[in-house]
């Protein structure tokens, strides 16, 4: 039997600052180590201490319009958390305190690369308690029109597949698949930036969105042109960014996932509704550590350490 995998946190404090994508406000974020079993918690430093704690969990999601927003019972919220959550998920961090100066996380360069690289550089430490994984036991699907998200059992990995289909001369149809681990995420996903359409910018801004959007933090498409002088970081950067978002959204399950996620034109809303559907059906998952066994059909099988997280 393989050794147990322990929960993890960061070695020391890390800070980030920059403009928020939708509010356009300057935002500061500080990541702090957290004790075993604490999970991922956001703290709004501009709000009264008794009301400022927000757990990063699926049932605290209150808005999915163009980003993912979580709120507490007092109505205090923090938005655009998906890029940071994506990096945290890929790095297998279980416990973290995230202090933020206002209502939105900074967008930085529009990807999760800066978050991922800086956290990696500071380092991650193992803790005392065993890590629990969300192991998917049967396929669960959520559909809304032509958009769909599903998750099914996998060979003890976290696999993500995505199909993108835009009626647009540049994006059109893209698909991509990845086994999520530290190296794959760093090389294939982390640098993929968010994207938007020039013709929609004024309308979004008038409705309170994209006030901080610029060519420094977004890929901007205008008809058949990409306005960013440096072009794309990957040939299929659009679908890779959708995978980045999905990884962040799914980490609101509260656990690293052992399963295969498939998205077809899915976004933040459908990703969250898939999580709600999973947790409404207790037969669809099990919380396991690496020494436990599960029943599969008529056999009892040992769960092996997934290759992407073996030390």
Q: Render pLDDT for 99-130 as a digit per residue (tens, 0 to 9).
A: 999 999 999 999 999 999 999 999 999 999 99
Q: What is the dihedral of CA 299, 302, 306, 311, to 10 degrees?
A: -170
Contact indicator for 192, 168 with CB cutoff of 8 Å: no
Which sign does the torsion angle of CA 85, 121, 109, 170 carry?
Answer: negative
pLDDT tens track for 271-283: 999 999 999 999 9
Verdict on whether the full-model pTM lies above 0.85: yes
Give the mean model confidence (pLDDT) for residues 41-69: 96
Told to judge if 260 belongs to the known catalytic residues of this protein, a careful annotator would answer: no
Checking if the pLDDT of 76 tops 90, the result is: yes
Contact indicator for 194, 107 with CB cutoff of 8 Å: yes
Domain ranges of the chain: 6-302
Q: Which fold has domain 6-302?
A: lpxc deacetylase, domain 1 (3.30.1700)
Candidate list 83, 241, 260, 268, residue with the active-site label: 268
């Amino acid at each position: 039997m393989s050794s147990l995998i322990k929960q993890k946190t960061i070695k020391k404090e890390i800070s980030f600052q920059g403009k928020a994508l939708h509010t356009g406000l300057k935002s500061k974020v500080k990541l702090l180590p957290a004790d075993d079993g604490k999970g991922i918690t956001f703290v709004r430093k501009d709000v009264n201490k008794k009301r400022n704690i927000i757990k990063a969990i699926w049932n605290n999601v209150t808005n999915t319009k163009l980003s993912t927003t979580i709120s507490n019972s007092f109505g205090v919220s923090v938005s655009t958390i998906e890029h940071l959550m994506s990096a945290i998920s890929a790095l297998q961090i279980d416990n973290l305190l995230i202090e933020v100066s206002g209502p939105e996380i900074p967008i930085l360069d529009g990807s999760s690369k800066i978050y991922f690289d800086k956290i990696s550089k500071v380092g991650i430490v193992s803790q005392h308690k065993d890590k629990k994984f969300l192991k998917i036991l049967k396929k669960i699907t959520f559909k809304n029109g032509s958009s769909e998200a599903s998750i099914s059992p996998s060979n003890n990995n976290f696999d993500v597949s995505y199909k993108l289909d835009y009626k647009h001369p540049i994006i059109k149809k893209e698909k991509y698949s990845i086994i999520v681990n530290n190296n794959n995420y760093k090389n294939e996903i982390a640098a993929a930036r968010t994207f938007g359409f020039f013709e929609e910018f004024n309308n979004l801004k008038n409705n309170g969105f994209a006030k901080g959007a610029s060519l420094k933090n977004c890929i901007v498409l205008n008809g058949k042109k990409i306005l960013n002088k440096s072009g794309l970081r990957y040939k299929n950067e659009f679908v890779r960014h959708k995978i980045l978002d999905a990884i962040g959204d799914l980490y609101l399950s509260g656990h690293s996932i052992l399963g295969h996620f498939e998205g077809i034109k899915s976004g933040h809303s459908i990703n969250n509704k898939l999580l709600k559907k999973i947790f409404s059906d207790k037969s669809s998952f099990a919380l396991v550590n690496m020494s436990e066994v599960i029943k599969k059909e008529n056999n009892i099988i040992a769960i092996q350490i997934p290759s992407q997280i073996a030390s």
